Structure 1
């Protein structure tokens, strides 16, 4: 019984972080599946830069809020897993099979980005002891 409470205190915020990441992906990127063909015949997309920036800002805000509440590990783990699951679900219909390369890159970027932001925010927290 003693182990149950600390585990739930970490799993809950991690699940919330993962859920926020999945919902943010769906809101910013999930609806845009079409590629844009320019006048010169080149193709871009399916995402515009503003969509990716919106996703990053939304996820970073969620990471900052989670870390500010004292759940640093949950912020990194939940965000990383949420982005990986969202990318995998969104790109799984890729016929080339290369979607896993993209998922791996999103996973690494999600981990590194959330870990760096977590370290910065955790360092700046006013209730953080100076010596651990």
Structure 2
């Protein structure tokens, strides 16, 4: 079996950082990902995909990502359910992020680690890739 997702998109708002009762950092954010085709009226449609990351990566996302920033997420799809306050069963589909790469250019005057290899890919702390995409929100 295989459950693997790779996304590139822009954050719709700043990541939310929380901690579990046992002290594990959890960051949640939503990526806006354009579809590869245009609809009947000639416009690109966008999917808004909820993502979750844990531990040190969650803290890094909360510190270095913000609304409109371009990011790549590599992870798996998880579907979970819970009972709402009204007693109804609710289902949530989200991407559990195993690796998040920061793709927006580094802001001038800010400090941060960059990690890249010879083939031009960007590491988890990187800010090297610059893509001139319009923000869909």
Q: TM-score, normalised by structure 2?
A: 0.25
Greater percentage in helix: 1
Bigger Rg, structure 1 or 2: 1
Q: Which has the higher contact order (CA 8 A, sep 6+)?
A: 1
TM-score (structure 1 length as normaliser):
0.25
Larger strand proportion of the pair: 2
